[in-house]
């Protein structure tokens, strides 16, 4: 599943995006995981916003059923992440979206944007920010990395994998129990 970032929406890219990659919001169920990918871009602006349409899409797409792992993916940040510079990285309606995420039992939120690998948990929601594997815009000593996520019935395992001297190295593994 692909979602647009700020660079994809720039220079009228938001008009090209659907022709190349499809709908800007999308949802997919894979076994017990419900993955909701949402477009938070605003053309020609670095920051983002989910907006009312996106919020409604999120509300309707998650499944509040036991055994279903709800995953939401957005490009921008829903919460501040360290080493990310000035706070223009949060989406404008972060407060409203956070409330939605909490009220609708979202288990995992995937974010990116500022290329900082970071994991934290807010109440029952794991907030996972991705680094970058291919961009030259790395931050400080974070270097290049990607996240490998293993979803089990009642738990999530996240591996942060770094590219060090042309070799992939597991930097850390975090395991979280999921609540019903
Ligand atoms: Fe970005």
Chain segment 47-69, per-residue pLDDT in tens: 999 999 999 999 999 998 889 99
CA–centroid distance, 77 to ligand 1, in Å, is 9
Residue 110 alpha carbon to ligand 1 centre in Å: 13
Q: How many CA atoms lie within 13 A of 111 on its CB side?
A: 29
pTM of the model: 0.95
Cβ pair 54, 91 in contact under 8 A? no
- Dihedral in degrees, nearest 10, Cα atoms 29, 34, 40, 41: -30
**What is the distance in A from the centroid of ligand 1 to the CA of 154?**
31
**What would the DSSP string read from start to end of 53-102?**
HHHHHHHHHS---TT-EEEEE-SSBSS--TT--SGGGBBTTHHHHHHHHH
> Is the pLDDT confidence value at 86 over 80?
no
Check whether 135 has a pLDDT greater than 70: yes
- In the chain, the domains with their CATH numbers are 6-133 (3.30.750.180)
Ligand 1 center–CA 53 separation, angstroms: 21
44 CA to centre of ligand 1 in angstroms: 12
Distance 66 CA to ligand 1 centre (A): 34
Supply 47's token pair. Answer: 């920051």
């Amino acid at each position: 599943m692909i979602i647009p970032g700020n660079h994809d929406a720039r220079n009228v890219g938001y008009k090209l995006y659907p022709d190349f990659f499809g709908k800007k919001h999308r949802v997919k169920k894979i076994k017990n995981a419900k993955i909701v990918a949402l477009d938070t871009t605003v053309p020609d602006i670095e920051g983002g916003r989910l907006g009312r349409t996106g919020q409604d899409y999120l509300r309707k797409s998650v499944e509040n059923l036991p055994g279903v792992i709800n995953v939401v993916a957005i490009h921008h940040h829903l919460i501040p992440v360290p080493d990310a510079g000035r706070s223009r990285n949060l989406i404008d309606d972060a407060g409203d979206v956070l409330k939605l995420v909490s009220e609708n039992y979202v288990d995992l939120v995937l974010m990116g944007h500022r290329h900082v690998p970071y994991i934290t948990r807010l109440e029952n929601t794991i907030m996972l920010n991705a680094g970058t594997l291919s961009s030259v815009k790395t931050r400080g000593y974070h270097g290049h990395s990607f996240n490998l996520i293993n979803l089990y019935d009642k738990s999530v395992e996240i591996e942060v994998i770094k590219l060090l001297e042309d070799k992939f190295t597991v930097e850390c593994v975090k395991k979280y129990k999921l609540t019903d």
